[in-house]
Amino acid sequence: MKPTLFALTALALLGAGCGTGGEDSSGSGKPEVIAAFYPLEFVAAEVAGGSANVTNLSPPGIEPHDLELAPGQVRSLAQADLVVYLGEGFQPAVEDVIGELSGTTLIDGLETQDGLLQASDEHEDEGEDEKHTSDPHIWLDPTRVASLGTLVAAEMARIDPDNADHYEDNAADLVNALDELDEEYSSALENCERNELVVSHEAFGYLTDRYGLEQVGVSGIDPEADPSPGRVAEVANFAREHGVTTIFFEEQVAPDIAQVIADEIGAGVEVLDPLEFPPDGDSDYFDVMRTNLNSISTALGCS
């Protein structure tokens, strides 16, 4: 049976009352950092550089939006030194628990950002409620990831001052690497035959906004919401009129609708990874972002 919010909150408060007060429960002597899902885990781990224990709350294969917390995860949140998450309803189960915590440093990645894009699920079937006020997918803009990394380093340095220089140096290295990635995107997407990116769901708003592209989504922000037939027809007409050659979908979402549109207009389909899950094998954030760049530049006829 799914735990009630009351039960989860009680567990969280119990964990906080029995917490370690900055001493990690693993016994390693390192600060405990919890990241709500992969991109945040990547940033925290890069900054930590092994000097803090970094844990990802979202198991592989589970949509971060749909995450439900087990009692042990609730207790770990209560005992953590730092929790990095995204608010505004992106992971309601996480927000429900951390709203009751005390003594834990919290970083809401959305609150750290200026100029958030507004979003709604207006493309779904009538009767669906809007679930987001801001687009949460900030991690697909490298410059926004860089600013988050700097903030995480500052908080980790405050929590663990003995390793402050280590965290700050790691953050500087991360920022430099992200600056290079940003330059690669800017250069590769500067001269393209088309600038319309047709995607199965609107996860790429910050990426397209950063690099002067136009995102056209079949579904809105929620990848599991069903688009209306009218929206599918609208996107197909748009793609045909603009000479779109590729309809992008995500590996974790069935390509059925993308394939229907592609077949109707004589286009191909290709995977574009929104990076909500840990990459396979030894790949990391940078590898996936560069794979995405290659797919986008090819689809848009960039030179």
Three-class SS state of 145: helix
Q: Which CATH number fits domain 188-299: 3.30.420.10, 3.30.470.30, 3.40.50.1980, 1.20.58.220?
A: 3.40.50.1980
Q: Where is average pLDDT lowest: 2-11, 98-107, 175-184?
A: 2-11
Q: Which are the contacts of 95, defined by CB distance < 8 A and separation ≥ 6?
A: 85, 87, 89
Residue 132's pLDDT is 52
If residue 219 lies in a helix (H) or strand (E), which one and from where to where? strand 214-219
Residue 197 phi, psi dihedral angles, 5° rounding = -105, 105
Q: 167-199: b or e for each residue (b if 16 or more CB lie within 10 Å)?
A: bbebbeebbebbeebbebbeebbeebebebbbb
Per the CATH hierarchy, to which homologous superfamily does domain 5-182 belong? Nitrogenase molybdenum iron protein domain (3.40.50.1980)
Each domain of the chain, given as residue ranges in start order, spans 5-182, 188-299
pLDDT at residue 103 greater than cutoff 90: no
Q: How far apart, in whole angstroms, are the C-alpha atoms of residue 162 and residue 192?
A: 49
Q: Taking residues 99-127, what's their average pLDDT?
A: 80
pLDDT at residue 18 greater than cutoff 60: no
Q: How far apart, in whole angstroms, are the C-alpha atoms of residue 30 and residue 26?
A: 8
Q: Which are the contacts of 169, defined by CB distance < 8 A and separation ≥ 6?
A: none
* Residue 123 binned pLDDT confidence (cut-offs 50, 70, 90): low
